[in-house]
Structure formats: structure tokens, C-alpha cells
Amino acid sequence: MLKSMTAFGRASADTGTRTVTVEIRSVNSRYLDCAAHFPRSAGFTDDRVRQYLISGGVSRGKVDVSVNIENTAEPEVTLSVDREYLKSYLAVLHELRDVYGLADDISVMKVAADKNVITAEKAEADAERDWAEIRPVLDSALAAFLEARSAEGERIETDLRQKLSGVAQMVDRIESLSLSDVSGSRNKIEERLRKVLDDLGIRADENRILTECAIYADKIAIDEELVRLRSHFGAFETIMSSGEPAGRKLDFLMQEMNREVNTIGSKCQNAEIAQTVVDVKCELEKIREQIQNIE
């Protein structure tokens, strides 16, 4: 089954102390381009998120992962007294009091007003703890994201099969028109050759006429191109059904199909065939545009 490169997944959960929300969205890209956005307090890195996505089966697309963390409980803060600093600080205050005869109004609140006396320390970031809390939410968001990719990929696959079936019918028509065109063109060439020879008073060499007609018929024959084109149709179906990332392979296959169709168009002189070739190229272009959305 094909997978689209355009998708969105979201999940949210309350861990008891924090509310974690994860959003994963992606658009088309030639390669896997992953960008993670999360608070500085989270201890993990972009690379960890990238490896997580790869292990989850994401191989192509510009993927943005947004992690939002809201604290629902007061953060743990540890207060401590710098005793050495406080000892020196009080000694200086006492000296000012005694030497200069200042009022002894030293109080706990005034001493605590000095920011160097009491310091507040928050708990250090713990990457493994943060990842353990965020990972289940990531799992849920990724599951929704992958489901959206598969659903969109299924719709694209249905559309591609319909378009390819239409192209195959047009190719059948080209083959039918080509058979009569080759036969008619050969008769015309033979008539012209005989007329030119008669006008010049030259006795016709039947073997030479047949040879020239055969050479011309071979030049405008499109049997080989049709065989290769139909083999590409079979390869297209095989790649779509493989269950593996198919975008790049199908894109390359489209180039080969276009090459065969262009060759057919250059060989055939029939106006009806030429118009059908144009219709085929238009459909192949639509298919190519759809393939740009496939992983």
C-alpha cells in the first residue's frame, strides 16, 4: 500500500505533573527532513526524535514534530543558605554597628533580602525522565500520523490505478491505429515509388521496392515501444503492491514511460495517433504529479 508524504497527527496526555501535547505534520520532500520543536527544559535532542521517526517507518518527507509541555504542579525548588557568605556578611554588619554607632536593627528579613544569602535551585533536567513521559504521547501522535499517511496513500493509489487503466486503453487504441497506419503508409510508399520510376522510364525492381517499403515500415513501426511501455505498466503495479516506499521508483518509471511515448509520437505520422499520444502524455503528467506526494 502506498503512503502519502502529507499528513498530520496529534496527541495529548496528562502525566500527573505535566500536560504533554505532541503534533506531527509533514509535507513533500525528496529526503527525510526532520525538525523537532520542544521546550529547552526537555533534555533530549532533535536526533533522538529523528531516530524515533525512522524506527516508526517514516523514510521521506519534511516532518515537523512539535512538543509542548505545560507544568500542572509546582516545580520542585530547593532553597539553601550560603553559610560562609552569611557569616562574613553578618560580621561586616556588626562591624558597621560597633565602629560607627549605628542602630542595631539587623533582622532576618533584612538579611534574607540579600540575594546571595539564600539561593533557589530547580531540579536538573533529566533526559531519560522527560523522554519516558513524552514517549507514550509521541507513540499516539505517530500512530495517528501514520494512519493519516496510509489513508491518503490509499486514495492516491486508487486514483493512480484509474489513470493508468485509462492510459492502457489509449495505448491499445494507438496500437490498433498503428497497424492500419503502417499498412496504409507502405501501400502509399510503394505507389509513389512505382510512379516515380514510371515517370523516369526506369523498369521497377520488385525486390528493391519491397526492400525499401520494408525499411520504411520498420522505421514507423512502434511494436518495441509498445512492448516496453506495457512492461512499465506491469512494473508500476508491482511497485505499488510491494508495501515498500515507492515514490522514487515510480518517479523514475514515469521518466521511462514518457520516453517511450515520445518515441511513439515521433514515429507515427497519423493525426489520430498524434492526438492520442498527446492525451497519453497529459495523463502521464497527472500521474507524475500525484507520485510527488508518495513516500
Q: How far apart are CA 28 and CA 294, in angstroms?
A: 8
Cell reading at 1 = 500500500
pLDDT over threshold 70, residue 45: no
Return the pLDDT at 70. 83
Q: Which residue has the higher pLDDT, 79 or 285?
A: 285
Amino acid identity, position 6:
T
Q: How far apart are CA 37 and CA 13, in angstroms?
A: 18
Q: pLDDT band at 238, cuts 50/70/90?
A: very high
pLDDT over threshold 80, residue 216: no
Q: Helix, strand, or coil here: 36?
A: strand
Q: Flag whether the pTM goes above 0.95.
A: no
Considering only CA atoms, which of 169, 173, 165, 148 is closest in space to residue 240? 165
153: phi > 0 → left, psi -120 to 50 → alpha, else beta; which? alpha
